[in-house]
């Protein structure tokens, strides 16, 4: 478990293609959010979010949480919400550091299509992305290097500590780098309407 002083920022948001509520990320074993929280020494926040929730309100609430949290986003980061926009846009506006989880089906083989698409979505929205983490499956490091994406590693099946150690080191180093590169640690606020008085 890391000490609070060692966290480079307040917390991380986990995002995934389709959201973390999809069958690829849920099952009888501890899910990827629980495993990553334990691995990084973070507290998993039990927020159940829906498309009706305003991301700005949620992110503002997170800014008041004690440091050391991990929020798994159950929704797809590109999904249209009840308020205009999507989670990716809000995460970028608030400059909230994010980890992108990718199921093994999307990251196997020569093309990691979903990984590339979601990486591009987050990049276009200005989200401070730590990198991509493959969940389960078979890890093919040579193939992942050919993807040209910022892979941090994989959550291997439980019982193999070596990939966990490498993932923790890569994620922590990248979180420090992303936090140091942020131009302003405070979030952007939505624009205020101009005063209509002359």
Tens of pLDDT, residues 99-120: 999 987 654 554 478 889 999 9
Cα(32)–Cα(35) distance, integer angstroms: 5
Q: Residue 3 pLDDT more than 80? A: no
Q: What architecture is the 8-181 domain classified under in CATH? A: 3-Layer(aba) Sandwich (3.40)
Cβ neighbours around 107 below 10 Å, total: 26
Bridge partners (DSSP) listed for residue 13: 71, 98
Domain ranges for the chain: 8-181
> pLDDT confidence of 76, banded at 50, 70, 90?
very high
Q: Residue 187 pLDDT more than 50? A: no
Alpha-carbon Rg for the chain, nearest whole angstrom, is 17
For 136: left if phi > 0, alpha if psi spans -120 to 50, otherwise beta; the answer is: left
Tens of pLDDT, residues 4-19: 446 778 999 999 999 9
Q: Residue 27 pLDDT more than 50? A: yes
CB 174 within 8 A of CB 131: yes
Cα(138)–Cα(46) distance, integer angstroms: 29
> pLDDT confidence of 26, banded at 50, 70, 90?
low
Poorest-confidence range of 26-40, 78-92, 98-112, 148-162? 98-112
Rounded-to-5 percentages of helix, strand, coil across the chain: 35, 15, 50
Task: Tell me the DSSP string of 75-129.
Answer: S-TTS--SSSS-HHHHHHHTT--EEEEE-HHHHSSS--HHHHHHHHHHHHTT--E
**pTM of the full structure:** 0.84
The helix (run of H) or strand (run of E) holding residue 185 is none
């Amino acid at each position: 478990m890391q000490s609070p002083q060692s966290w480079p920022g307040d917390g991380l948001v986990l995002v995934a293609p389709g959201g973390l509520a999809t069958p690829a990320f849920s099952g009888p074993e501890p899910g990827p959010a629980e495993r990553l929280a334990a691995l990084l020494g973070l507290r998993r926040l039990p927020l159940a979010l829906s498309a009706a929730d305003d991301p700005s309100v949620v992110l503002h609430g997170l800014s008041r949480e004690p440091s050391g949290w991990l929020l798994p986003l159950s929704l797809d980061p590109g999904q249209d919400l009840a308020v205009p926009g999507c989670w990716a846009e809000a995460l970028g506006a608030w400059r909230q550091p994010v980890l992108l989880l990718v199921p093994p089906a999307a990251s196997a083989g020569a093309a990691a299509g979903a990984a590339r698409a979601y990486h591009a979505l987050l990049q276009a929205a200005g989200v401070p992305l730590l990198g991509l983490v493959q969940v389960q499956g078979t890890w093919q490091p040579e193939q992942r290097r050919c993807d040209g994406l910022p892979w941090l590693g994989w959550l291997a099946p439980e019982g193999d500590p070596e990939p966990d150690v490498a993932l923790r080191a890569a994620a922590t180093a990248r979180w420090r780098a992303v936090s140091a590169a942020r131009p302003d640690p405070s979030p952007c606020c939505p624009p205020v309407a101009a005063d209509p008085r002359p």
